[in-house]
Amino acid sequence: MAEVLVAMSGGVDSSVAAALLVDAGHTVTGVTLKLWGGESDSGCCSVSDVDDARWVATALGIEHHVFNLGSDFNEHVVDRYVADYAAGLNPNPCIECNRHIKFSKLLDRADLLGFDQIATGHHAAISSHEGSLYLRRGDDPAKDQSYVLHMLDQSQLRRLILPVGDMTKDEVRRIAEERGLVTAAKPDSQDVCFIHSKGGRQEFLGNRIPLTPASVVDTEGVQVGSVQSVELVTIGQRRGLDVGGNTGRKYVTDIDRTSNTITLGDRAGALRESVALHRFVWADQPIAGPVVAQYSAHGRPVAGRLERLGNDGADEGSVVWDTPQIAVAPGQSVVFYDGDRVLGGAIAR
């Protein structure tokens, strides 16, 4: 049995993860990460979330602590989110939080405090293949979180336990109900934890960087609308654009930040044969050749060929799709799979 530090967000998944570890005989300590100190109504950093996590820990008979990692969160997640949007990128803050906070800073704290392993309530699982450990998709396709955990390497996978990865969400809630946990019927966290639903991205970013109006034109260069913030528009986008009178499904096919012009076209104009990549990470060894890739958290896997530049571990490359795909916005993560097994990932350029 191990000394396990469980990240308890105040949600049902991490509550049940802690309960299962206690049942398995581990010495379990719960910890809630205090990350965002600003206004929020959609995340997992509120006072009520901390209270829920503490209540569950008390009900399970385990210790509970709160780690304030707000400065690290601001530096690695919030500040980067703002800088990426200013640069015309489409970041995924949940991935950066996992990369820099939940599976880096938390492991550092676990080491300092003498814990053998850490655990979370993510819907993913860990399995071995040819002597190496790999993340694999969770058993509940609707809740699978392997995409946002794709950066985990061998050293991190060896230290991690994912108790609910082989369960459906309904099974998780049933266990929580049977044990009388206060989080049993609690809704899942939605959207970005530091963005308030009332003002959204526009207000959050507008308070931190200048937002630039842009014209929206068709493929002939005729203006068909406008947007308040070119920074919030991405290649391939087809919703949220005010182009009154425009008929048919239209996609953003080009963004010119020099002239602040957004071009709308049909689906064919939004398709790309490949996506350029950089900042590769691997579960084990770098790969090349045929691959199945996913470029959004709940998108469908797409077949293609991964081509890397230079020697093993090169930081640049591309995926050439077997069938052209809607353009992947720069800044998005592209994650590589072999069946349900996560091989690694990269960032779209």
Marked catalytic residue, from 44, 45, 94, 193:
193
Contacts of range 106-110, beta carbons closer than 8 Å, 24 or more positions apart: 106/5, 106/7, 106/31, 106/33, 106/67, 107/156, 107/159, 109/5, 109/31, 109/67, 110/5, 110/159
Tell me how far apart the alpha carbons of residues 266 and 218 are, in angstroms, rounded to a whole number.
Answer: 10
Distance between CA 1 and CA 21 in Å, rounded?
A: 10
Handedness of CA 91, 95, 99, 102 (dihedral sign): positive
Amino acid in the structure at residue 225? G
Q: In angstroms, rounded to a whole number, what is the distance separating the alpha carbons of residues 106 and 123?
A: 19
Question: Distance (Å, rounded) from C-alpha 342 to C-alpha 340?
Answer: 7
Of 44, 45, 94, 97, which one is the catalytic site residue?
97
Nearest CA among 29, 32, 22, 33 for reference residue 5: 29
Counted residue by residue, the chain has a size of: 349
Burial class (CB in 10 A: 0-12, 13-18, 19+), 114: exposed
Q: Which residues are paired to 204 by β-bridges?
A: none
Catalytic residue flag (residue 97): yes
Assess whether 44 carries a catalytic annotation: no
Give the residue from 195, 184, 137, 133 showing the smallest Cα distance to 14. 184
Q: For residue 259, how far is the Cα from the chain centroid? A: 32
**DSSP assignment letter at 196:** -
CB 216 within 8 A of CB 243: yes
For the annotated catalytic residues, the residue numbers are: 97, 193
